[in-house]
């Protein structure tokens, strides 16, 4: 019914029908203009009973491209016991990436909508969130992932549903070593990072004169902490350095008992493998007990790179060493500098965390793969990812070990499957209270070094 019909008719019934029809048109119009980013709240998380029975409306399960939009999932921890500061940084970075894609015309002529879900840093929540992204939100791909324990289960969901995923900050070796076609990673391998950690510690001993007979490892009992501690302990043993490991549950707040046991070990260096706010709690409580970063050389967990949160929670954290993934600022490319400027403008931060760079790249690399594939078909996107040469904030990203060049053919371990092989790993040190991590001194390796380490307690 059009407007002229309404004006001619004096029928109340006809007017009512016209109003109803116009209302439906307005609703339809609103639904075709999605925001670049939408968060799925806890109340919208999957109903396990419905998941198990496979209950889902046909409209919910349609691929997003069929609805006039391309949806990409963002899997991040936004509430405890997960690393909230890490998840927020990754979310902000991925929103920037989605906005940039839309500013440049979207993908395949359609706008991108980033669907953000909260993993809480827990495997069961990560699995449920991944299921929702795929089977209810209709995402064509997933980016993100902070905690390895979430990545371990999310990879299974992606594999079972044949949806490509690019992990940005999940380090556990098994995530790629299972060689699933759908799983790609631009984060480093845990075993490779452990090797850098031990090389750094051995360098402190051999080149800088640090007494290093015993190292204490404080690790969370997760798919990140346990294998990282095991690899580090094994490699330290090969260097003739004794190590003692103490495990805690994710999200631990009170470390008093553990700290007393650590003090009794009289360590020459302390290394933290506890993520999120637990890392801050351990560092400051250690400082209060006299074995903090200003008392005993300490390698803090990389969430310490979130400088404002670190100094707020660890005011006695100066001299902390921190492992950083990605090139140092003096080697940033144009993409990294452009991202950093926008990230700073939106967040007020002076620098960007390594996992923020990675999260940004994870969304953009999926976008490039979809464009190169010319479709959102999973097989085509996966094939494009295998062949991709992506210039991003982390540098030039490729996945050279793939279905055309398998680990067996290349003579490498299965963990290198769909793995970005060249992420730079450096160690920086806070040498001024309150300084931003972007300005922190790079002490290792020699290639990127900007200053000497400060060794406390010598």
pLDDT tens per residue, range 349-368: 888 888 999 999 999 999 99
DSSP 374: T
Q: Does 7 score more than 60 pLDDT?
A: no
- What's the distance, CA 127 to chain centroid? 16
* pLDDT computed for residue 241 by the predictor: 98
Averaged pLDDT, 155-160: 98
How is residue 388 written in tokens? 């991709």
Q: E strand or H helix at 425, and its extent?
A: strand 425-429
Contact in structure between 72 and 112 (CB atoms under 8 Å): yes
* pLDDT computed for residue 62 by the predictor: 58
List 40's β-bridge partners, or say none.
117
d(CA 203, CA 424): 18
Q: Does 267 score more than 90 pLDDT?
A: yes
How is residue 145 written in tokens? 């992932």
Averaged pLDDT, 424-445: 93
Measured from the Cβ of residue 170, the count of other Cβ atoms closer than 10 Å reads 28
How is residue 8 written in tokens? 């001619």
> How does residue 300 score in pLDDT terms, banded at 50, 70 and 90?
very high
Q: Does 33 score more than 70 pLDDT?
A: no
* pLDDT computed for residue 50 by the predictor: 34
Helix locations, 69-172, DSSP H: 84-103, 123-135, 148-161
* pLDDT computed for residue 398 by the predictor: 98
Q: Does 188 score more than 80 pLDDT?
A: yes
Measured from the Cβ of residue 368, the count of other Cβ atoms closer than 10 Å reads 20
Domains of the chain in start order, with CATH, are 191-330+424-448 (3.40.50.2300)
End-to-end CA distance of the chain: 86
- Is the pTM higher than 0.85? no
Averaged pLDDT, 112-137: 97
Q: Does 52 score more than 60 pLDDT?
A: no
Task: Read off φ and ψ for residue 259, nearest 5 degrees.
Answer: -65, -40
> How does residue 148 score in pLDDT terms, banded at 50, 70 and 90?
very high
Q: Helix, strand or coil for residue 370?
A: helix
Distances in Å between the Cα of 125 and the Cα atoms of 9, 91, 143, 160, 199 are: 57, 17, 16, 17, 36
> How does residue 10 score in pLDDT terms, banded at 50, 70 and 90?
very low
* pLDDT computed for residue 65 by the predictor: 65
Task: Read off φ and ψ for residue 273, nearest 5 degrees.
Answer: -120, 30
> How does residue 18 score in pLDDT terms, banded at 50, 70 and 90?
very low
Q: Does 279 score more than 90 pLDDT?
A: yes
Task: Give which of 139, 146, 149, 116 is closest to 45, Cα–Cα.
Answer: 116
The 10s digit of each residue's pLDDT in 439-454 is: 899 999 998 999 999 9
Averaged pLDDT, 188-195: 95
The 10s digit of each residue's pLDDT in 374-401 is: 999 999 999 999 999 999 999 999 999 9
Q: Does 229 score more than 80 pLDDT?
A: yes
d(CA 221, CA 228): 10
Handedness of CA 270, 198, 209, 430 (dihedral sign): negative
* pLDDT computed for residue 326 by the predictor: 84
The 10s digit of each residue's pLDDT in 311-333 is: 999 999 999 999 998 888 888 99
d(CA 300, CA 282): 10
Q: At what angle do helices 354-373 and 334-347 cross, to 10 degrees?
A: 120
How is residue 206 written in tokens? 């051999």
DSSP 453: P
* pLDDT computed for residue 276 by the predictor: 86
The 10s digit of each residue's pLDDT in 62-114 is: 566 667 999 999 999 999 999 999 999 999 999 999 999 999 999 999 999 99
Mean pLDDT across the chain: 88
* pLDDT above 70: percentage of residues in the chain: 86
Q: E strand or H helix at 166, and its extent?
A: strand 165-167
């Amino acid at each position: 019914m059009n407007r002229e019909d309404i004006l001619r008719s004096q029928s109340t019934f006809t007017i009512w029908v016209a109003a109803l029809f116009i209302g439906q048109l307005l609703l339809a119009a609103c639904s075709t203009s999605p925001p670049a980013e939408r968060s799925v709240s806890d109340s919208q998380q999957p109903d396990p009973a419905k998941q198990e029975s496979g209950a889902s409306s046909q409209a919910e399960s349609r691929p997003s491209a069929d609805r006039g939009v391309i949806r990409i999932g963002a899997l991040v921890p936004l509430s405890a016991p997960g690393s909230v500061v890490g998840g927020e940084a990754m979310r902000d970075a991925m929103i920037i990436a989605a906005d940039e894609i839309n500013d440049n015309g979207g993908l395949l002529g359609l706008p991108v909508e980033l669907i953000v879900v909260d993993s809480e840093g827990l495997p069961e929540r990560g699995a449920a969130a991944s299921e929702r992204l795929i089977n209810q939100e209709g995402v064509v791909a997933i980016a993100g992932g902070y905690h390895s324990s979430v990545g371990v289960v999310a990879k299974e969901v992606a594999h079972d549903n044949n949806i490509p995923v690019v992990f940005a900050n999940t380090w556990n070796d098994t995530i790629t070593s299972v060689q699933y076609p759908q799983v790609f990673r631009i984060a480093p391998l845990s075993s490779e990072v452990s090797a850098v950690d031990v090389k750094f510690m051995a360098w402190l001993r051999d080149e800088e004169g640090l007494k290093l007979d015993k190292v204490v490892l404080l690790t969370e009992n997760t798919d990140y902490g346990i294998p990282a501690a095991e690899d580090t302990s094994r490699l330290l043993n090969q260097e003739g350095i004794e190590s003692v490991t103490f495990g805690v549950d994710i999200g631990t707040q009170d470390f008093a008992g553990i700290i007393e046991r650590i003090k009794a070990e009289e360590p020459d260096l302390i290394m933290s493998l506890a993520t999120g706010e637990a890392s801050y709690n351990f560092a400051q409580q250690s400082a209060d007990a006299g074995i903090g970063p200003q008392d005993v050389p300490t390698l803090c967990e990389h969430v310490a790179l979130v400088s404002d949160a670190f100094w707020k929670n660890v005011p006695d954290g100066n001299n902390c060493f921190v492992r950083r993934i990605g090139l140092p600022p003096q080697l940033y490319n144009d993409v990294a500098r452009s991202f950093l400027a926008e990230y700073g403008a939106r967040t007020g931060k002076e620098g960007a965390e390594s996992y923020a760079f990675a999260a940004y790249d994870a969304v953009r690399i999926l976008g490039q793969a979809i464009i190169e594939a010319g479709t959102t078909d999973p097989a085509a996107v996966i094939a494009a990812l295998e062949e991709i040469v992506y210039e991003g904030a982390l540098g030039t990203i490729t996945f050279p070990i793939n279905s055309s060049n398998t680990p067996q053919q290349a003579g490498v371990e299965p963990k290198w499957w769909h793995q970005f092989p060249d992420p730079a790993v450096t160690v920086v040190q806070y040498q001024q209270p309150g300084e931003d991590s972007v300005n922190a001194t790079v002490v290792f390796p020699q290639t990127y070094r900007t200053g000497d380490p400060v060794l406390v307690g010598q």
